Structure 1
C-alpha cells in the first residue's frame, strides 16, 4: 500500500528540491503543475519508472491523490522510495502553493 505525505511535509520536500512526479494527463499538467514536477502520465508509470532514481524519495502527485496512490504503489513494487501526496495539486493550490503552466518542468 502506498505511503502518503501530507501537504505540509510535501511543501518542505519541494522547498528542499525533492523529486516530484506528476501522474496526471498532459492537458492537466499544462494547465498548472507544481514547479519542477516531471510529467509521467499514470498509463506510462510502469514503463518509465525504471528511469527514476532508487536512492532518493520520489513524491508522486496527481489532481487529488487517487492516481498518485496507484502510481506510488507501482513505484514501491519496483524498488523506488515513492510517496503519494495526499490532496494532490488541488490541495497544493488551495493552500497557496505555487503552480506554473506550460509543457516544461519550470523549476522554481
Structure 2
C-alpha cells in the first residue's frame, strides 16, 4: 500500500514545487484543483507514466483521498516514489488553501 501524507505535509511540499498529479475526472479538475496540479485521470494513468518526472516524489490527489490511494499504489508498483494526499482537494480547499479553475496546466 502506498504511503499517505496529511494536508500540512503536502502544503509544505507544494510550496517547495512538488510534482502533483490530480487523478480525478476532467470536469472535477476544471471545477477546482490545486494550483500546478497536472491532470492524470485514473482511466489514463498508465498513459501518463512516461511523462511523470523521474527521481522526484509524486504527490497524488483526488477529491478526498480514495482514488489517490489507488493511483499512488499503482505508481509505487511501477517504481515511483508516490504519496497519496489524505483529505484530497476537498480538504485542501476546506483549509482555505488556494484552488484554481479551468484546464491549465493540462494532462501530464
TM-score (norm 2): 0.94
Number of equivalences? 106
Please state how far the C-alpha of 1:48 moved relative to its aligned partner: 1.7
* Alpha-carbon distance in structure 2 between the residues aligned to 1:49 and 1:70: 15
List alignment gaps of at least 5 residues for structure 2: none
Offset at residue 76 of structure 1 (A): 0.3
* Mapped contact 1:53–1:80 kept (Cα < 8 A): no
Structure 1 residues not aligned, in runs of 5+: none
Deviates more, 1:27-36 or 1:48-57: 48-57
RMSD of equivalent CA atoms = 1.1
1:1-108 matches, cutoff 5 A: 1-105=1-105
With 65-74 and 46-55 compared, the bigger mean Cα shift is at 46-55
Task: Give the alignment's TM-score, normalised by structure 1.
Answer: 0.94
Shift of 1:73: 0.4
- Measure the CA separation in 2 of the matches of 1:46 and 1:74: 9
Q: Cα deviation per residue 1:41-84 (whole Å; 9 max; x = unaligned)?
A: 01111232132123010000000000000000000011111000
